[in-house]
Amino acid sequence: MSQTQQTAARKTAVVVGALGVIGRYIVERLEAAGDWQVIGLSRRQGKDRPGVRYISVDLLDPAATNKALAGLSEVTHVFYAAFQAAAGAASGYANNIDANRDMLVNSVSAIDLVAPQLQRVVLVTGTKYYGTHLGAFRTPARETDPRHMPPNYYFDQIDWLTAYQQGKRWDWAELRPQTLCGFAPGTPMSIVPVIAVYASICKRLGLPLRFPGIAWNSIYQVTDSAHFANAALWAATDARCANQAYNITNGDYFRWCNLWPRIAEVFEMPWAQPQVISLTAQMADKGPLWQTIVREHGLQPYPYDQVVAWPFGDYVFNSDWDVMSNVTKSRQHGFHDVVDTEEMFVRLLRQFREQKIVP
């Protein structure tokens, strides 16, 4: 391929929420593909490198967003993975309508205004679309299942995007993952650091690893962040994905009661039967202890409140109902990747130890 052809084939992506537990992995996946220029948007400033540059912007400020994105005329794809949590329990995050809707509106409309080559917007929502945060729901959930009683900012996002796209030159795809498993310092919305820090503190206190919630025997599912990034790339480039929604999970299911002993093995500690506690409450005073652990083991110096989100752990570990998505549609439309979830947890937790995130 000539240099001219290579240039013409290159795509330019804006990843909104580029430093989060989803966006960070999408950036890395596009970077590895080799034929993308990547622009990451986030409130915090990322570190530029060849092929990847970052723009720090407050997406809740329309004027600032328009100004910051005014030069992005070359953009061909948008990956929207930004998120703003609400105060209180993680199960209530779906109620945070205004901020999560407005960030999408401000960023996509600003890019649409200046990017004549825009082809597709990939919107990341999630299984709260089905009411996973409210209690038992129809499983395995299908993309065509009816909505639950609002509020839910996912509804507001996809409704706005669907209406705004009418008559445009570009289309959209919506992806619905469940409980992302990765690591993004400063945005700890992942269950893996919750488990890793909880296990490390239990071990330091001489306690066995006890499952802290009531979902011990329930069927559950998760999504490896790297696996999700592969799905996002597929959704951005496959013609079949135009104006379609897809469930994206690892493709299997598990029970915590079967996984928990393997997690204890990773940390070389005993496990015991569940003891239901509020992690948010019980771990609130463990910041000084964590700093001691960091010093003793020479860990990476992430602040306690940036490495783990205890309300998210309480939400996941107390979902005492089956949480299952049907991923047949994504497979029929061309995405066939699967991940063994038990092996994923072992791999990621070992990586956390090797990378000195936990001891």
With residues binned 3-state (H G I as helix, E B as strand, rest as coil), the percentages for the chain, rounded to 5, are: 45, 15, 45
Q: Give yes or no: 128 in active site.
A: yes
Catalytic residue among 54, 80, 128, 130: 128
End-to-end CA distance of the chain: give it in Å, rounded: 48
Question: In angstroms, rounded to a whole number, what is the distance separating the alpha carbons of residues 156 and 149?
Answer: 13
Is residue 275 within 8 A of residue 210, CB to CB? The reply is yes
> How many whole angstroms separate alpha carbon 238 and alpha carbon 34?
18
Where in the sequence of the chain do the CATH 3.40.50.720 domains occur?
3-180+223-247
Which DSSP string do the residues of 153-177 spell out, in sequence order? HHHHHHHHHHHHHTT-S-EEEEEE-
- pLDDT averaged over every residue in the chain: 95
Tokens of 22: 């989803």
CB 209 within 8 Å of CB 202: yes
Q: Is the pLDDT confidence value at 3 over 70?
A: no
pLDDT of residue 4: 35
Distance CA 184, CA 19 (A): 7
* Averaged pLDDT for residues 345-356: 96
For the ranges 84-88, 126-130, 326-330, 353-357, the lowest mean pLDDT is seen at: 84-88
Three-class secondary structure of residue 276 per DSSP: coil
Structure tokens belonging to residue 345: 């947890």
Rounded to 10 deg, the angle between the 341-354 and 256-266 helix axes is: 30
Note the pTM of the prediction, 2 decimals.
Answer: 0.95
Average pLDDT over residues 246-258: 98
Q: For 5-9, 204-208, 280-284, 300-304, which range has the lowest pLDDT when averaged over its residues?
A: 5-9
Q: Which of 54, 154, 198, 220 is catalytic?
A: 154
Rounded to whole angstroms, the Cα distance separating 304 from 9 reads 43
Asked if the peptide bond before residue 151 counts as cis, ω within 30 degrees of 0, the response is yes
**222, 20, 186, 227: which is closest to 103 by C-alpha?**
20
Q: Is the bond leading into 140 cis (omega within 30 degrees of zero)?
A: yes
* Residue 184 banded pLDDT, cuts 50, 70, 90: confident
CATH number of the domain located at residue range(s) 3-180+223-247 in this protein: 3.40.50.720
Residue labelled with tokens 């310092």: 185
pLDDT at 188: 63
Active site residue 130: no
Number of DSSP helices (H) and strands (E) in the chain, helices first: 14, 13
- Confidence check: pLDDT of 92 > 90: no
pLDDT over 90 (residue 186): no
In angstroms, what CA-CA distances link 281 with 64, 115, 313? 38, 47, 12
